[in-house]
Structure 1
Amino acid sequence: MTTFALLHGAWHDAWCWDRVTPLLKQAGHDVIVPRLPSDDGSADFDTYADVACTSLRECSDDVVVVAHSLAGATGALIPSRRPIRHLVYLCASIPDGGVALAAQMGIMASEFGEGWLAALTEPDDQLRTQWADFDFVRRVFYGDCDEATQAAAIEHLRPQSAYPFAVPCPLTAHPSVSCTYVVCSEDRVVSPEWSRGKARDIGANLVELPGSHSPFLSRPQVVAGVLLAAAST
């Protein structure tokens, strides 16, 4: 039995995996969905990784970490903290060693990189922002979701501090763990072209899906199937 650790991205929370979690459990596996400290203005990706590892403290080594979007920077740090069997990047940003994620936004992000700052509120004293332009959110995060799903997702979004974006990645090299990169062909947040190149660079198995940035909402059964396949390798 595998434990799937499902890591959410920026402005999101554990709720975003609610359609995938029961499918993994029905297949006989455990699922842990930690709440990362996105709204903590002092937390960097090392802190995020510590929170994720604490949630896995009682688990065996048979762990598959699944990192969506911004959580790619967290997922990449976990193998140095505890054994895992496989790492899955889902439409994920993976920073280069010694480089802050903010410095890579121009090449990593597509439409998102061009408009996200204008679509957010002004940062507060902990550099936290929230979304103000919900048309932008619907288009880039949930482009292939139905209106009810979009509305429910927007209702659940939470503040995200910009602090971890500005901290250089502590990795010197990508961890030597087997991994899969799942790219969505219509992703407007993380560029599909960049994702394919990054998958090649880190030696990941590449899986291509149709659709936008949040397939756990629009295609949960497909995503669950990909994760189950990764767990069987």
Structure 2
Amino acid sequence: MIGSDVPSPTLLLVHGAWHGSWCWDKLRSTLGAAGWSTRTVDLPSAGRDSGVHEDAQAVLDELGRIDGPVVVVAHSYGGIPVTQAAAKAPGVSRIVYLAAYQLNVDESLLGFHGAPVPDEPDGLQPVPNNPLSLFYGGVPAAEALEAARRLVPHSMRSFGEPLTQAGWHTVPSAYIVCEHDQALPPQDQEALATRSDEVHRLASSHSPFLSMPQELAALLAEIALRTAD
């Protein structure tokens, strides 16, 4: 842990649909001030017609650049490629699902919600019409508007592709339920969280890395320190 001879894990932060690594900047600054090393990755499905497996490979590629143990923090859709990638990545010491999809083998995002999966999904899903209320409750208005301006269309294929592996079966996991989430309903998060080894809760919207970075950073540090012990 920080301040001891035991190496602290690096935190790899993986964004959700329509977003990019930029969404973590505020949280990274907070974690960095506390001595934590963080990394991010941009998922190909944000802005391109790529699927879960291309996203998982991007996560694996970034993990391969990190020395020592890694705690992977996956937000929303990001939980899906992280779950796939973690099954192949020996350096991952814990997965943290932040209001994220902790799916099992053969499950997809659309399938989890009971929505039909197109036979040949392609193209890009436009940015939702109401991103401010959907994603950024509790975020200062100017900051929320700037975040919404940076959103990009997301691959339809990634929403329908099922997992072929699920890393949380072998890698310890923690779930953070965002209790005021308007994007992934808290009741869905609670159902997904039953697959994790531990469950935590924040009184936040879908994006606590913007709405309450101090509280989220403290919780992630608590989880990561326990992982390092």
Task: Give the TM-score range, shorter chain.
Answer: 0.7 to 0.9
Going from structure 1 to structure 2, the CA distance change for 1:127 and 1:184 (only over 3 Å counts) comes to same
Cα distance, 1:72 vs structure 2: 0.7
Partner of residue 100 from structure 1, selected from 105, 108, 114: 108
Matching residue's letter, 1:26: A
**Which runs of 5 or more structure 1 residues have no equivalent in the other structure?**
108-124
Give yes or no for the alignment of 1:63 onto 2:59.
no
Residue identity matched to 2:157: Y
TM-score, normalised via structure 2 length: 0.86
User: Which secondary structure does the structure 1 equivalent of 2:96 belong to?
Assistant: strand
Contact conserved, 1:8 with 1:69, CA < 8 A, in 2? Answer: yes
Rounded to whole Å, the distance in 2 between the matches of 1:144 and 1:187 is: 11
Q: Which amino acid aligns with 2:76?
A: S
The equivalent of 1:157 in structure 2 is 151
Give secondary structure in 1 for the equivalent of 2:113: helix
CA distance in 1: counterparts of 2:58 and 2:82, whole angstroms: 11
- Stretches of 4+ aligned residues off by more than 4 angstroms: none
Aligned counterparts of 1:79 and 1:30: Cα–Cα separation in 2: 19
RMSD across aligned C-alpha pairs, in angstroms? 1.9
Q: Contact between 1:98 and 1:172, CA under 8 Å: does it hold in 2?
A: no
> 139-148 or 6-15: which moved more?
139-148
The size of the alignment, in residue pairs, is 212
DSSP-derived class of the 1:232 partner: helix
Shift of 1:18: 0.6
CA distance in 1: counterparts of 2:218 and 2:197, whole angstroms:
18
Equivalent position to 2:56, from 32, 49, 58? 49
| Deviation of 1:47 (Å) | 1.3
The DSSP-based 3-state class of the residue aligned with 1:12 is: coil
Distance 1:104 1:7 in 2: 20
Does the Cα contact within 8 Å between 1:13 and 1:36 map onto a contact in 2? Answer: yes
Measured against aligned partners, the alpha-carbon deviations of 1:126-170 in whole angstroms (never above 9, x if no partner) come to 51132262xx21111112212112111111111211111111221
Q: 2:12 pairs with 5, 26, 50, which one?
A: 5
Q: 1:32 is paired with a residue of what secondary structure?
A: strand
Matched, 1:146 2:140: yes
- Give % identity: 30
1:86 to 73, 78, 94: 94
Separation of aligned partners in 2, 1:24 and 1:192: 26
Q: Show structure 2 runs of 5+ residues with no match.
A: 1-7, 116-120
What TM-score results when the alignment is normalised by the length of structure 1?
A: 0.84
